[in-house]
Amino acid sequence: MPRYFLHQRHRDEIIEDLDGAEFPDLEAVRQEAVLAAREIMSDRLRSGLEMNHSWFEITDEDGKVVLRLSFAEALPHSERGDR
């Protein structure tokens, strides 16, 4: 299975995913990013921290960006209708 790296960007800050993880396909990575974004947002919300301007930048093993997903896109009421 291909390995993907779920880097995070919060404004100017970059949080690198050094280890990465294996996923069957890009849709599975996107699903993981959605669930992770929701979890991080709920934690920040509870701690009273802002969460705008945060997104996932997902790269493949060659370092090529294959997907960008803003945290806002992970909200359940987003137009993509994620559950």
Partner 1 sequence: MSRTEPNRLLRKLTPDDLAIFEPELEEVILTKGQMILDAGHEVDHVYFPLDSVCAVLAVTEAQSPIEVGMFGNEGMSNMVVRPGDRTFFRTVCFIPGRALRISAAPFARLLSELRSLNEMTLRYKDAAAIQFGYAAYAHGVFSIEARLARWLLMTADRVHLGDLPVIHDLAASMLSVRRSGVTTAIHVIEGTGAIKATRGLVTIRNREKLEDIAGDCYGPPEQAYEFIMGQQPDSH
Among positions 25, 39, 50, 61, the unique one binding partner 1 when judged by CB under 8 A: 39
| Residue 59 Cβ vs partner 1, minimum distance, rounded to whole Å | 14
Among positions 2, 3, 15, 80, the unique one binding partner 1 when judged by CB under 8 A: 15
Rule CB under 8 A: say whether 33 interacts with partner 1.
yes
Instruction: Classify burial at 16, counting beta carbons within 10 Å of its beta carbon; exposed 0-12, middle 13-18, buried 19 or more.
Output: exposed
Residue 67 or residue 79: which is nearer to partner 1 going by CB? 67
DSSP 64: -
Give the CA distances from residue 12 to residues 15, 52, 53, in Å, rounded to whole numbers and listed in that order. 10, 12, 9
- Count of positions on this chain that bind partner 1 (CB under 8 A): 19
Rule CB under 8 A: say whether 17 interacts with partner 1.
yes
Helices and strands per DSSP (H, E), number in the chain = 1, 5
